[in-house]
Amino acid sequence: MRYSVSHKQQTREKLLQSSAALAKKEGFANVGVDGLMKAIGLSGGAFYSHFSSKDELFGSIVERELSQSLERLGAGDAQSRERLDRCLKFYLSMPHVEQAESGCALPSMGAEIARSDVAVREHAQTWICRLHANWARTLESESLAWAILSQCVGALVVARMMVDPHVQSQVLSSSYQELSRRIADH
């Protein structure tokens, strides 16, 4: 039976969405093709009608996730410092720690991206540099924008490593306070 183009596109989108959530929650390398397809109710063999390899899927996930992060965290023109502050509060929050599957891909998949092929790393670099450029315009400082971006991702990684929610919260609030102070002093 032949499926319509729109059905194939919808299935591909479901696969991307489900695979991204699994990758952020469990690590992309830890989930096989059969597990990825089972999550959307299909057999492993159907995977190859959407992607030529698991690596191609990973590249598509990285591009999709980082473009969505860019939209959430400040895509367009330079934003206000108030909007940047709201982004930081959202990013450095317990719901973001607890719900890795629906959050930013960098804290959970950053190490896998770093080990990926050059094409995937170039896609990631493009999106990250676009976010950096936006924040740099807002802050009028390229170095402060890199520092904030790096500290946010690192703080989320450290908070997720902790077991005690109180310690997780301390990591997040300390990072937010320090970043807020640096922004205010700039």
Mean of pLDDT over the chain: 88
Domain 54-185 has CATH 3.60.10.10: no
Give tens-digit pLDDT for 138-180: 899 999 999 999 999 999 999 999 999 999 999 999 999 999 9
Report how far residue 168's alpha carbon sits from residue 16's, in angstroms, rounded to the nearest whole number: 29
Q: Give Rg (Cα) of the chain.
A: 18
Give tens-digit pLDDT for 94-122: 999 999 998 899 999 999 999 999 999 99
HEC states along 38-55? HCCCCCHHHHHHCCCCHH
Domain boundaries, the chain: 54-185
